[in-house]
Amino acid sequence: MTEDFNRDRWLADLRSRVPEVTVTEALARQLGGALLVDVREDGERASGTPAGALGLSRGYLELRIEHAEPDRHRDVLLLCGSGQRSLLAAETLQRMGYRRVSSVAGGMGAWKAAGLPVTAGLLDADAAERYARQMLLPQVGADGQAKLDAARVVVIGAGGLGAPLLLYLAAAGVGHITVVDDDRVERSNLHRQVIHADPRVGMSKAESARLSLGALNPRVRVTTVVERLRADNVEALVRDHDVVVDGADNFATRYLLAAATRRLGMPMVYAAIERFSGQASVFDPRRDDSPCYRCLFPEPPSAADAPNCSEAGVLGVLPGLLGLVQATEAIKLILGVGQPLVGRLLSYDALDMRFRELTLRRDPECPGCGAGATFDGYRDLERMCASAG
């Protein structure tokens, strides 16, 4: 009895300091421009939230509210499950200097009972828990996580670059990943291609990658294509995706990808490695100022000038780092946040542990995107690369 009495007194004292509004009043004020904040946890909001409400868990409200709403004079309404946590959240905002803060009496229970508009939850309980740390970021949240879930990314190659970037795309919750690779796992791959394992030596790399991604995140839909990317299939393989990630190890594939993504208006996330160094960039034909791959390499170098890993060797951790850069850029493109590596070439030297950034401008004379550029066909690109090799 004493405990209940003290709790009632505490609630009464809190209500004397924090204004409360009914759910119908809250809806009217929201329609009039007030910010409605659902302070329940991500898992609770998974089943639905008031239409138009901003989801900010009470435990992180102090850290994130200033990013979401810097105006301390705006009318702010806080809603929880039953109307008690929102009182505490409102008191917190009052201490932070927010002048017009109210708690919604009865919370989500009263909102639903009144038949007021509810937006279906973007995520179920499993997703809310799985991506909880990522969704704490204001640039992601539940809306950003839903964008990732709806995204379709095609990764060309499940080797040194593809291995880490595939793992992190799946871990981040990219909903549909297509893996294109016609090679098989060799024991010499394992020091850098961490998506594979010793018992899978001899297995298709695409299938091995699918097994690893499914074990890491069974929510992700993985499509495997055990084919080599060629002139006659490049557009069919990359079309209907949002982002193309180049994890290839040869110039012929990159020239085909560059031409196809430019013709289809799709962003291409590029990286390449050699021995102890690597580089990465983003080519995005949706932007008028974006250079293309052929602005960087107008013509393919000879095989002697650009040996592959089996000929020149490679530090095992190097593709891991560059692959993570690619995964980061792909996720940024999907979310529409930050500044992608468009017009910039990120160069990395592992021996000196040094990053350099070079400006990469669109070349008006570029054979791929310049004013006089003509497309002669994918087979011509293959022949050009074959003659260079």
β-partners of residue 29 are none
HEC sequence for 81-124? CCCCHHHHHHHHHHHCCCCEEEEECCHHHHHHHCCCCEECCCCC
Read off the tokens for 152: 């379709």
Annotated active-site positions, please?
Answer: 309
Amino acid (1-letter code) at residue 211? L
Buried/exposed code over 41-75 (b: 16+ C-beta within 10 A; e: otherwise): bbbbbbbbbbeebbbbbbeebeebbeeebeeeeeb
Count Cα atoms within 13 angstroms, Cβ side, for 1. 0
SS3 at position 255: helix
Q: From CA 121, how far away is CA 238, in angstroms rounded?
A: 31
Token look-up 């951790």 returns 317
Phi/psi of residue 205, nearest 5 degrees: -60, -40
Amino acid (1-letter code) at residue 369? C
Q: What are 13-16's contacts with CB under 8 Å, separation 24+?
A: 14/87, 14/88, 14/91, 15/87
Q: From CA 315, how far away is CA 51, in angstroms rounded?
A: 52
Q: From CA 97, how far away is CA 16, in angstroms rounded?
A: 18
